[in-house]
Amino acid sequence: MSKKSDQVVKVLERIKPRWPLPTPVKDLNLLEHGMLAVLLRHFDQRKAEAAIAALKKGYADWNEMRVAQTQEVAAQMLGLGRRAPRSDVDPVLAAARDVREFLQEVFQKTHGLELEFLREDLSASSKLVQQMPHLGLASGGFLLWLAGDRQLPVHAAMVRVLDRLGLVTRAGLAKKARDVVGPLVPEGSELRFVQILGEVADRWCDTRKPVCWDCPLREDCPFGKKVAQEHKVQLERMEAQRKRDEAKRLVFEKKEAEKRKKEAERLAKKAAIDNAKLEKSRARQAAIDAKKRALEDAKQKKQAELAKKRALAEKAKADAAKKAAIKAKSAAKKQAKSGKKR
Ligand code: SF4
């Protein structure tokens, strides 16, 4: 066994597929095998086959199912007719949604609901399958394997993964891809090889943005090591930048706190000065008011004294007039008496 074949064996051992692939069923066409692959994400093979049989019975054609409500598809899948309470269909709703979305994806990509044409041109078919993310490349590879009479299908995503792993070189591979890839695959593991490579392409090995740091193959993948290293450097840079930003933020916050403290002190000082001024002005005003009141009191006292004096003078004047009148009366009496004597 060559070193590359050893590496392929390691790859097949290291990747655990999320879902099993179906066992091909004699009476199902390629579209229905696609549905079976999708349903195996929720059920075992026996239940998935039973679900397809029930759906076939429930709908006149697949287009009728494609445009039906998910709840109805779920009810049909369980053989409950078109209407069933939500609680009865809840356990299979996710499967119904998935299989309906698969039909929708096929319809959008092919404007029809059959995939038998995949058998005609495997190269074009592999391109189409790569544009069906809901189906995915693991299940899509299974359909290509069926379409090509169980020969190893080689698609661009598979070549991309193998190239990055250092197992093939992409340059000039397009036409004779199967001749180059075929010898790497352990005999009898073709379908598993297709599934695992599809799984890697679907989950980690994206054309533009591979997530090598999460990929289980990165230790043995030259491209992945490079990307993972770059990612690590990028993370370190981001962390360093984050620390710089944090330090800047702390300095800024410290400055702002100092600024706020100074401003508070300035305002407190100003308030104290304003208060003192206000107190001083109030005291000055109180002194002026007191002085005014004292002057007013003195004036009133003086006026009272003057009035008293004036009253005393009036009284003295009246007393003098009274005395003069008494005196005049007495003089007149004396004069009258003296006139009588004569
Ligand atoms: S490590 Fe990266 S490049 Fe290598 S197979 Fe995984 S995702 Fe692809």
pLDDT tens digit sequence for 178-210: 788 988 999 999 999 999 999 999 999 999 999
Tell me if 275 is assigned to some domain.
no
Number of structural domains found in the chain: 1
Tell me if 253 is assigned to some domain.
no
Tell me if 340 is assigned to some domain.
no
* Residue 4 banded pLDDT, cuts 50, 70, 90: confident
Tell me if 186 is assigned to some domain.
yes
- Which ligand 1 atom minimizes the distance to the CA of 225? 1
* Residue 337 banded pLDDT, cuts 50, 70, 90: confident
CATH number reported for the structural domain that contains residue 99 in this entry: 1.10.340.30
- Which ligand 1 atom minimizes the distance to the CA of 206? 7
State pTM to two decimals. Answer: 0.73
Chain centroid to Cα 329, Å, comes to 125
Tell me the residue length of the chain. Answer: 342
Of 89, 100, 113, nearest in space to 39 by CA: 100
Pocket mutation for ligand 1, best pick of 204, 226, 231 (most atoms within 8 Å of C-beta): 204
Q: Which residues line ligand 1 (CB under 6 A)?
A: 161, 164-165, 200, 204-205, 210, 212, 215, 217-218, 221, 223-224, 227
Q: Is the pLDDT of residue 151 over 80?
A: yes
Tell me if 167 is assigned to some domain.
yes
Tell me if 327 is assigned to some domain.
no
Tell me if 333 is assigned to some domain.
no
Torsion (CA) 313, 319, 323, 325 in degrees, nearest 10: 100
For residues 94 and 334, give the distance between their C-alpha atoms in angstroms, rounded to a whole number: 152
Provide the residue range defining the domain that includes 128.
3-212
- Which ligand 1 atom minimizes the distance to the CA of 215? 6
Q: How far is the CA of 161 from the centre of ligand 1 (A)?
A: 7
Tell me if 312 is assigned to some domain.
no
